Chains A and B, each alone.
Chain A
Amino acid sequence: MVVAVGVISLLYVKPIYQMAGPQTILWVYDLTVVLSALAGVGLSFLLWRSFSRGEVLKRIWGSLTLGLLLWTIGEVIWSYGQLLVGDHLPYPSLADIAWLAGYIAVAVGLLLRYRSLQMTPSNGWRRAVVWVFVTLATVIVAIVAVPIIATSGPVSFLEGMVNILYPIGDLAVAIGALLIALMLIGGALSVPWGLVAAGCFCVAVSDLLYAFAVWHGAYQVAPVGGINLLTFVVNVLYAASYLITDTGLYMQARLQRVI
Chain B
Amino acid sequence: MTVLPHSMGFLFTNALGEVVFTDRGFLRLTKRSLVRPPIAEALHATLGIEERSACQFLQDLTHRGSIDRPALSIRTTTGSLRPMLAAGVAVFTGRENYIGADIQLSPSLAEVKTLARPQTHSDVLDNYAKQALEEARLLKTRTFLQVYLAVHIDAIQVLLARLGGLDMRDALERIINSTAIGHRIPTIMQDGHLEFGDRTVPLGAYQTLFQTAVDYAVNAIGRRMVAEEMQTIDRRIDPGVLKAAMLLGLTVGVDE
Contacts and interface: CB of A to CB of B under 8 A. Distances in A.
Given A51-B222, A52-B256, A117-B220, A188 B163 contact: yes
B175 A118 contact: yes
Interface of A: 50-52, 55-57, 116-119, 122, 183-190, 254-257
A255 B97 contact: yes
B201 to A, nearest CB: 25
B186 interface: no
Contacts of A117: 164, 168, 171, 219-220
10 contacts: A52-B224, A56-B219, A119-B170, A184-B168, A187-B162, A188-B163, A189-B163, A190-B165, A256-B93, A257-B224
A77 B171 CA distance: 44
Nearest to B256: A52
From B93, B99, B222, residue with most partner A Cβ within 10 Å: B222
Contact of A186 (B166, B171, B221, B225): B166
A257 B94 contact: yes
Interface in B203-230: 216, 218-225
Contacts of B131: none
B4 interface: no
A185 B222 CA distance: 18
B241 interface: no
Given A186-B14, A188-B93, A255 B163 contact: yes
Interface string B153-197: 000000011111111101100010000000000000000000000
A119 B168 CA distance: 7
B102 interface: no
Nearest to B15: A188
B16 interface: yes
Contacts of A116: 219-220
Given A52-B223, A186-B18, A118 B216 contact: yes
Given A118-B171, A118-B216, A254-B97, A55 B222 contact: yes
Nearest to B218: A55
A189 to B, nearest CB: 5
A255 B164 CA distance: 12
Nearest to A55: B223
Contacts of A185: 165, 167
| Chain A facing B: main interface SS | loop
Interface in B80-131: 93-94, 96-97, 99
From A116, A185, A257, residue with most partner B Cβ within 10 Å: A257
A57 B163 CA distance: 15
B94 A184 contact: no
Contacts of A188: 14-15, 93, 97, 99, 162-163
A254 B167 contact: no
A208 to B, nearest CB: 31
Given A188-B99, A255-B94, A51 B223 contact: yes
A186 B222 contact: no
B222 A50 contact: yes
A50 B164 CA distance: 18
B118 to A, nearest CB: 21
Given A50-B224, A118-B216, A186 B97 contact: no
Contacts of A190: 165
Given A187-B14, A254-B94, A57 B168 contact: no
Contact of B167 (A50, A52, A119): A119
A187 B222 contact: no
A119 B171 contact: yes
Interface in B127-149: none
A183 B163 contact: no
From B14, B18, B160, B221, residue with most partner A Cβ within 10 Å: B221
A51 B226 CA distance: 12
Given A117-B171, A119-B171, A184 B164 contact: yes
A255 B94 CA distance: 7
A254 B225 CA distance: 13
Contacts of A57: 218-219, 222
A181 to B, nearest CB: 10
A55 B220 CA distance: 10
Nearest to A193: B164
B218 A256 contact: no
Contacts of A183: 164-165, 167-168
Given A187-B14, A256-B222, 18 more contacts: A51-B222, A55-B222, A55-B223, A117-B219, A119-B168, A183-B165, A183-B168, A184-B165, A185-B167, A186-B14, A186-B166, A187-B161, A187-B162, A188-B97, A189-B221, A255-B93, A255-B94, A257-B224
A257 B160 CA distance: 16
